[in-house]
């Protein structure tokens, strides 16, 4: 059963997150495993499986990238081809994120190699500059994310009107995939930069 069907939702690119959360709370309250602790084992196993399926479906639908992929697979019957090309309009961000990751990795390697306080203090100016660059890049990613969200909303309107354009769906899915990956790459390095671990 598709994640959309588990919550009785029309399969579409966008959804109301608050309504999904409410449906999830209602569905999991009805089939929470704790309510069936004294039930026969077969019934407990069925409830556990339903609860796990509801959790998985919720996680899929609440995450735009995962939702777009699930919709694509549901509509086409298969995953999109594993193409490693960069989505149109994202090359500059792709290069900028790559360069920032390399700069951060190089700096973090030097920082880990320093042992004395004086050496570390000497790196502070570079670290502050990197933090400023990181904030600026994250702002660009947020702007790109807002653009992609707008594309999802426009696609959703067309989709619900009957224009189930799989090429547009795949293009938006790929943009969101890159956006998610870039955010994760920068977040991992930012945490290491701030914690020193």
Evaluated on CA atoms 17, 87, 144, 126, the torsion sign reads positive
pLDDT tens digits, 27-81: 888 887 777 877 888 887 888 888 999 999 999 999 999 999 999 999 999 988 8
pLDDT tens digits, 101-114: 999 999 999 988 88
Distance CA 127, CA 190 (A): 11
Q: What is the pTM of this model?
A: 0.84
Contact 67, 61 (CB under 8 A): yes
Angle at 159 between CA 12 and CA 18, to 5 degrees: 35
Assign 3-class secondary structure to 42-53: HHHHHHHHHHHH
């Amino acid at each position: 059963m598709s994640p959309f069907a588990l919550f009785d939702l029309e399969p579409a690119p966008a959804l109301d997150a608050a309504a999904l959360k409410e449906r999830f709370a209602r569905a999991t309250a009805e089939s929470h495993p704790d309510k069936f602790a004294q039930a026969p084992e077969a019934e407990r196993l069925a409830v556990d499986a339903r609860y796990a399926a509801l959790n998985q479906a919720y996680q899929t639908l609440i995450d735009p990238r995962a939702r777009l992929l699930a919709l694509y697979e549901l509509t086409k019957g298969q995953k999109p081809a594993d193409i490693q090309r960069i989505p149109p309009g994202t090359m500059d961000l792709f290069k900028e994120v790559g360069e920032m990751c390399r700069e951060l990795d190089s700096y973090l390697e030097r920082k880990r190699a320093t042992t004395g306080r004086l050496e570390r203090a000497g790196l502070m100016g570079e670290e502050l500059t990197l933090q400023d660059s990181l904030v600026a890049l994250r702002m660009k990613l947020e702007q790109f994310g807002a653009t992609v969200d707008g594309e999802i909303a426009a696609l959703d309107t067309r989709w619900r009107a009957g224009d189930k354009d799989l090429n547009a769906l795949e293009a938006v899915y790929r943009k969101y995939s890159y956006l998610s990956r870039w955010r994760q790459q920068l977040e991992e390095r930012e945490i290491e930069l701030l914690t020193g671990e």
